[in-house]
Amino acid sequence: MFNRILLATDNLTQGKLAARTAGETARQMHSATLCIVVTYPSVPDFLGVREMEKQIARRHSQAETLIASLLEEVGTIPGEIQTEILEGSLADAAAKVSEVRGSDLIVMNAKKAWALERLGEWFHKYLVTSHEHCPVMTLQ
C-alpha cells in the first residue's frame, strides 16, 4: 500500500518519533524506498558571502548529524533508504520531494500545535490543486 514513504523533519526531538513511525510502517508494508528529507532554515543574504558560507556549512553539518540520528531510529527496512538535505521550509520541501519521488505516504513532525493546523491547510490546498492523492501523517 505504501511503497514509497517520505520522512520529513527539521528537528531531532520530534523527528525521532516520526523516524520510528516511518521505519515501522516501511517494515510492515515491505516498502521499496524510504526517503529522509531534512531541512534547515534559510540563511539571510545580508550577512555577506563569507558569513553566509560559514552559516550554511554549519547548518548543513547539523543536518547531516540529524540524518545519522534518524537513520538509527528508522532501523533496517526491506527497501532502500535515501536522504536529502534542503534549505527552507519543511512543508515546502516535503511537498516538492513527494511530488518528484511519487511518494505514497508522507510522515513528518510539527514543532507546535498551531503548526499542525497551518500545515494541514497548506497540504490540503497543495494536494487538491495538484490532484495528488498522498496521505500526510503529522506527529507532534
pLDDT per residue over 55-65, tens digit each? 999 999 999 99
**What percent of the chain is modeled with pLDDT above 90?**
53
**What is the average pLDDT across 125-132?**
47
* In the predicted structure, residue 44 carries a pLDDT above the cut 90: no
**What is the average pLDDT across 103-117?**
70
For residue 134, what pLDDT is reported?
Answer: 77
Contacts (Cβ under 8 Å, ≥6 apart) of 91: 119, 122, 123
CATH dotted code for 4-139: 3.40.50.620
Top-confidence residue, 74 or 122: 74
* In the predicted structure, residue 7 carries a pLDDT above the cut 60: yes
CB 11 within 8 A of CB 39: no
- pTM equals 0.82
